[in-house]
Amino acid sequence: MLTKRSLLLAAAAIIPLLGLSDAASAKDAKKLGLAVANLQADFFNQIKQSVEAYAKEKGIEVVTVDAKGDSATQVSQVQDLITQNIDALIYIPAGATAATVPTKTAKAAGLPVVNVDRNADGAPGDTFIATNSVASAQGVCDYIAKQAGGKGEMIIIHGQKGTTPEVDRSKGCGEALKA
């Protein structure tokens, strides 16, 4: 799980990509695009709030868009952000299917890209910020198995199929249950 401190560090990761220092003045203000998978998810909403708070401290404008879980919508939103002359993109893919398109589009426009939580296969950003989902799921499933005494059945509720965290969490839990 990302802590509030980790979220602030994630927000801070974009500042060097924008070419700003802590001493940036108002005339140096930049514009940051934040493309979020779904703001109904608490986790993504916390990221949004942290990015916006940190950017405000640094005098950076943030334009946030919410794909509401729809990949096609997000592709269009990122294209729109680019036409708004953003200087960098923080991108949380709405789904695995079209995850590469926004990253490739932004990079083709010469923009630095920070992918958060979900990595775009074949189109990595300049930075990828996420938890180690394999290790965390392995720890959780190992704990559950020990508490159950190695007996019983376990139901695993998946997140959005095919995304980096979903695949990695399934892998981690599978590894724990094999042990």
What's the pLDDT tens digit per position in 78-121? 999 999 999 999 999 887 666 788 999 999 999 999 988 877 77
Helix (H, G, I), strand (E, B), or coil: what is residue 35? strand
CA-based nearest residue to 90, from 121, 55, 56? 55
Reported as a single tens digit per residue, the pLDDT across 11-69 is 566 556 555 444 444 445 589 999 999 999 888 899 999 999 999 988 899 999 999 98
Structural domain of residue 31, as residue ranges? 4-129
Last residue of one domain, picked from the residues 112, 129, 146: 129
The token pair that represents 27 in the structure block: 């005339």
**Does 79 lie in the same domain as 141?**
no
**Does 164 lie in the same domain as 77?**
no
Largest CA distance in the chain: 64
